[in-house]
Amino acid sequence: MPFYHKLGNIPPKRHIQFRKPNGDLYYEQLFGTVGFDGMYTNSYHEQRPTKVKEIRAQYSVKPSISKSNNIQSYKLKGFEVTPQDDYLESRKIVLTNSDCHIVLAAPRKSTNDYFYKNSDSDEMIFVHKGSGKLRTMYGNLDFKYGDYLIIPRGIIYKIDFDTIENRLFIVESNVPIYTPKQYRNWFGQLLEHSPFCERDIRRPQELETNNESGEFVIKVKKKDEIFEMVYASHPFDVVGYDGFNYPYAFSIHDFEPITGRIHQPPPVHQTFETSAFVVCSFVPRMYDYHPLAIPAPYNHSNIDSDEVLYYVDGDFMSRNDIEQGHISLHPAGIPHGPHPGAAERSIGKTETQELAVMVDTFKPLMVTDEAMKIADDTYYQSWLDH
């Protein structure tokens, strides 16, 4: 995060005595990234955050890579992923490389019996269907349709759903997720030409402090394994914290599109960046206004990026036969562009109501067996004239 946040009670300086009303010490924890060189938060706990009682089950969630080729374009029918009660069991990795997993999930129930921590990856959770509350060690965030939830690695959390039908598009990133640097000044503040600003970013405002002892199961993901760890104290026992490293929410509906006289390239839609991929938001906007403009995108070969588009809502003008929850994969170096008739249809149109999330990765993505269960593997032929 590019700006400072404080919640709860903290002492006037770091690393000094901070005592409870009864005279006992609170326990300080530095929650840091990139060694001691990245963003960090200092938090203060009722009990030591280190009290592990038991390590129970261990099981693999490593994706199974499909033997199908990874040169062709695919369309995945995301809403065909079968809903499951359990949040973690519902998460299906459909595309993967050494930098990230791209995941679909349709959980029906809240995480009542355990807490979860992804110790390897920042998580970007896009809420396509559903609403509820993200509960974390650093406070709570309400969420609804269209929200991005950014959860830095190591954050302990639960999700409480208000709804039974929930559809999530998730990116697990092995490198940190930031706001794009082209939108920030030297000091990290979002610039005037940025399509969103700090007012649009929702920070935790509800801090739960549970000073409880007992047995608390935290399912920890590390190296594509889940470990069930039992802690002796409640993980939400923070009385206060401050810093730059915390979960936050941003709604795709608060993204203000940048438009021009001719078709604008994808970087104007960029919403998040990492050193390994970027995330863009396509939102309702006015079309290009040059008198000879073709609003549909031109054919292009991204030589260095695989392109993943997750279709959320509206009529995506460059594609035929696209529905909510579909994912298109266009591999690097293979030309792609508007479907037959799409460019012609776009001429003269003044606006679009499309809503979609795009992920461009800088390393090739591999298609998983889970993806092939919902794949239209004839999609690559859909540019042929009929």
Give the pLDDT mean for 292-302. Answer: 90
> Rounded to an integer, what distance in angstroms lies between the CA atom of residue 298 and that of residue 288?
13
Short-list 188, 178, 236, 242, CA closest to 209: 236
Domain map (residue ranges) of the chain: 5-65+80-251, 252-381
- Asked whether residue 1 carries a pLDDT value surpassing 60, the answer given is no
Percent of the chain with pLDDT over 90: 86
pLDDT in tens, 367-383: 999 999 999 989 999 99
What integer best gives the mean pLDDT of the chain?
94
How far is residue 163's CA from residue 157's CA, in Å, rounded to a whole number? 18
Print burial letters for 186-222: b (CB count within 10 Å at least 16), e (below 16): eeeebeeebbbeeebbbbbeebbeeeeeeebebbbbe
67 confidence band (pLDDT: 50, 70, 90):
confident
pLDDT over 60 (residue 107): yes
Give residue 339's pLDDT: 92
- At 71 the pLDDT is 87
User: Quick one: CATH architecture of 252-381?
Assistant: Sandwich (2.60)
**Is the entire prediction scored with pTM above 0.85?**
yes
Longest Cα separation, the chain = 79
Element (H, E) at 346: helix 342-346
46-56: pLDDT as tens digits = 999 999 999 99
Identify the architecture of domain 5-65+80-251 in CATH. Sandwich (2.60)
pLDDT digit string (tens) for 302-316?
889 999 999 999 988
Higher pLDDT, 328 or 67: 328
**Domains 5-65+80-251 and 252-381 agree in fold:** yes
Give pLDDT, residue 2: 62
Q: Are strands 74-77 and 375-376 parallel, antiparallel or unpaired?
A: antiparallel
Q: CB–CB of 312/128 below 8 Å?
A: yes
Q: How confident is the model at residue 35 (pLDDT cuts 50, 70, 90)?
A: confident
| Beta bridge partner(s), residue 124 | 150, 171
> What CA–CA distance (Å, rounded) separates 314 from 353?
5
172 close to 119: Cβ distance less than 8 angstroms:
no
pLDDT score recorded for residue 37: 84
pLDDT tens profile 222-234: 999 999 999 999 9
